[in-house]
Amino acid sequence: MVIWLIGLSGAGKTTIGEALANRLKKTQKNTVFLDGDTIRHIVGDNLGYSLEERRLSGWRICRFCEHLDKEGLNVVCSVISLFTEHRDWNRKNYSAYFEVYIKVPLPELYQRNQKGIYSGFLEKKISNVAGLDLPFEEPEADLIIENKAPFVSPDIHAETILNLL
């Protein structure tokens, strides 16, 4: 099974994904957690962040998850996932697939600005930012989590996901 957590940078995908994977590991030891940044590092970090480079990176992530799924692992994968074509492919190629969209309003993401992406974009120091100068279509996910103030514990979000599996 692959649980695909989608959202813009700073939405809380990694935090919720880690909480979910940790809960799953208690009963299913064959669970792994993957994050888009970690996968980029594993495969050589040789791609930038243009739309086409993100598309290629997305295919790498999809196929890596497919391999792990075929090996009998449960995968919790936290990625921006810009492309509908990747998500459609996932639904057709994994043994089981559950998609979660971690939704946060842009003004709140600007305030969080954990990696400096949003301030860098506003200061015109960086470009190719998903949801800003790169299009981000909200997915038709199996579950949408509104991860905005007032905050809810990542463990509660993880429990919500587990209850729907």
In the Cβ-directed half-sphere of 102, how many Cα atoms lie within 13 Å?
31
Token pair for residue 8? 């813009």
Amino acid sitting at position 130 = A
Question: Collapsing DSSP states into helix, strand and coil, what is residue 140?
Answer: coil
Helix boundaries (H) for 1-153: 13-27, 36-42, 51-70, 84-93, 106-112, 117-122
Peptide bond preceding 139: is omega within 30 degrees of 0, i.e. cis? Answer: no
Do residues 76 and 97 lie in contact, with contact meaning Cβ atoms separated by under 8 Å? no
Instruction: Write phi, then psi, for 113 (nearest 5 degrees).
Output: 40, 40
In the annotation, is 81 catalytic? yes
Which listed residue (50, 57, 81, 127) is catalytic? 81
Do residues 23 and 158 lie in contact, with contact meaning Cβ atoms separated by under 8 Å? yes
Residues known to be catalytic:
81
